[in-house]
């Protein structure tokens, strides 16, 4: 039996600019089948949660402009469960919106907030950890984050240090948060065994996260509190149009999790990747005997190794003599870039914007 007091908010408002030119402002990566599995990332995420959360309790928080895409890709979701943000203000306002909205329905409910575009390979382990987190926050005034046991000193992730004595079965008190460290620091963190990667997946009881907003982000709490009576009524959209311009653009990690004193972590291993970059997609795709990860029906590879290739199914592409490149072809943009330069794709996008306007973004 699924617990009717368990809710999930899938956060699907981002632009995914590091996956350009596949990911565009009008159609970002959460709505794409980046790994060539036959399902988009948001479809995979939604299905993952339907295994243990009642479908009427699954909400998608996204930008107004993406609502039609969500409706198309998740035809089973009730329209009232698609929560539209009028502008992008990072994750804190997004979490505040869904929390205040749900508090009118069930303030003692337990809520998971998770990104729409992460890869999780071991769904059984994921379900188990999520249920542990929901159970813990149902009985303790705690904010829980899922931590991933690091497999290598990755510099693209945040790290969380935790106390070595468990507070409860497999739940530990958080000591410190560190944003993306340099290579040396990341090595130290990994070898110490005291740090986990920050997966950006959180759980809390709804009234407890609202208390945390009141304490740590009072300016956001005030504007939502003032409009609370309009949530779940025909006036909700108008209220949100008034609220969002007044909200600070801040992440939930920075705004609350790094400041609060009741933050706990569950060490997890469920085959997680935040799929932040083309290299992370490469790592998680099937490869040919020369180490090329290829998405596209008609790609012929000659003397080329370790490439990440994503091209349309109806296009013949011949690659010769290239090693360790990202090759992404779309109907109007072709990107050919060394894999080691992938962190600079964001800069290339800025360069395109300067020289060509928004046409290719």
For the chain, the domains span 6-273, 279-356
What per-residue confidence (pLDDT) applies to 15? Answer: 83
Q: What is the mean pLDDT of residues 197-207?
A: 95
What per-residue confidence (pLDDT) applies to 17? Answer: 83
| CA dist list (Å): 103 to 109, 158, 192, 318 | 8, 30, 40, 55
Q: What is the mean pLDDT of residues 84-111?
A: 95
Pick the CATH number of 6-273 from 3.40.640.10, 3.40.1410.10, 3.90.550.10, 3.80.10.10: 3.90.550.10
Does residue 322 surpass a pLDDT of 90?
A: yes
Tokens standing for residue 225: 């509190």
Q: What is the mean pLDDT of residues 301-314?
A: 95
Query: What letter does residue 150 receive in the DSSP assignment?
Result: P
What per-residue confidence (pLDDT) applies to 334? Answer: 97
Does residue 14 surpass a pLDDT of 90?
A: no
Phi, psi at 99, each rounded to 5°: -70, -45
Q: Do strands 172-178 and 119-120 pair parallel, antiparallel, or not at all (unpaired)? A: unpaired
Does residue 32 surpass a pLDDT of 90?
A: yes
Which of 104, 129, 105 has the alpha carbon at shortest distance from 49? 129
What per-residue confidence (pLDDT) applies to 154? Answer: 86
E strands present in 14-131: 58-63, 82-85, 110-115, 119-120
| CA dist list (Å): 231 to 17, 98, 105, 224, 243 | 32, 10, 10, 10, 12
Task: Quote the CA–CA distance of 244 and 192 in Å, as a whole number.
Answer: 42
Q: What is the mean pLDDT of residues 285-302?
A: 95
What per-residue confidence (pLDDT) applies to 83? Answer: 96
Summary count for the chain: helices (H), strands (E):
11, 17
What per-residue confidence (pLDDT) applies to 97? Answer: 97
Where b means 16+ CB within 10 Å and e means fewer, 170-184 reads ebbbbeebbeebeee
Q: What is the mean pLDDT of residues 117-146?
A: 96
User: By three-state DSSP, how is residue 280 classified?
Assistant: helix
Q: What is the mean pLDDT of residues 311-335?
A: 95
Percent of the chain past pLDDT 90, that is, above it, reads: 86
**DSSP calls for 135-148:** HHHHHSS-EEEEEE
Query: What letter does residue 207 receive in the DSSP assignment?
Result: H
Of 57-61, 76-80, 156-160, 210-214, minimum mean pLDDT range: 156-160
Whole-number average pLDDT of the chain? 94
Phi, psi at 221, each rounded to 5°: -55, -40
Task: Quote the CA–CA distance of 168 and 171 in Å, as a whole number.
Answer: 5
What Rg value do the Cα atoms of the chain yield, rounded? 21
DSSP-based helix, strand, coil % in the chain, nearest 5: 40, 25, 35
Percent of the chain past pLDDT 70, that is, above it, reads: 100
């Amino acid at each position: 039996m699924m617990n009717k007091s368990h809710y999930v908010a899938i956060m699907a408002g981002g632009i995914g600019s590091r996956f350009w030119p596949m990911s565009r402002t009008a159609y970002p990566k959460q709505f794409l089948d980046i790994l060539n599995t036959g399902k988009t990332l948001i479809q995979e995420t939604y299905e993952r949660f339907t295994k243990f959360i009642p479908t009427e309790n699954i909400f998608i928080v996204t930008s107004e402009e993406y609502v039609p895409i969500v409706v198309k890709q998740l035809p089973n979701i009730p329209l009232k469960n698609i929560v539209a943000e009028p502008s992008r203000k990072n994750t804190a306002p997004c979490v505040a919106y869904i929390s205040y909205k749900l508090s009118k329905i069930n303030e003692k409910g337990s809520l998971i907030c998770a990104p729409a575009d992460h890869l999780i390979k071991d769904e059984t382990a994921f379900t188990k950890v999520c249920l542990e987190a929901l159970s813990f926050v149902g009985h303790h005034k705690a904010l829980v984050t899922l931590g991933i046991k690091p497999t290598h000193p990755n510099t693209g992730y945040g790290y969380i240090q935790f106390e070595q004595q468990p507070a409860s079965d497999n739940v530990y008190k958080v000591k410190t948060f560190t944003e993306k460290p340099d290579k040396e620091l990341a090595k130290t963190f990994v070898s110490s065994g005291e740090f986990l990667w920050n997966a950006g997946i959180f759980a809390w009881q709804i009234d407890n996260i609202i208390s945390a907003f009141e304490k740590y982000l009072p300016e956001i709490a005030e504007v939502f509190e003032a409009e609370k009576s309009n949530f779940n009524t025909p006036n909700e959209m108008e209220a949100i149009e008034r609220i969002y311009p007044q909200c600070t653009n801040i992440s939930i990690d920075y705004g609350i999790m790094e400041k609060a004193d009741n933050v706990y972590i569950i060490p997890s291993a469920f085959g997680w990747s935040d799929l932040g970059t083309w290299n992370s997609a490469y790592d998680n795709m099937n490869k040919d005997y020369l180490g090329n990860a290829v998405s596209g029906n008609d790609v012929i590879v000659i003397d080329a190794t370790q490439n990440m290739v994503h091209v349309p199914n109806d296009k013949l592409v011949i690659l010769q003599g290239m090693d360790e490149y990202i090759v992404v072809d779309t109907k109007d943009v072709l990107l050919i870039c060394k894999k080691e330069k992938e962190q600079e794709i964001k800069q290339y996008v800025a360069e395109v914007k300067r020289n060509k306007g928004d046409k290719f973004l």
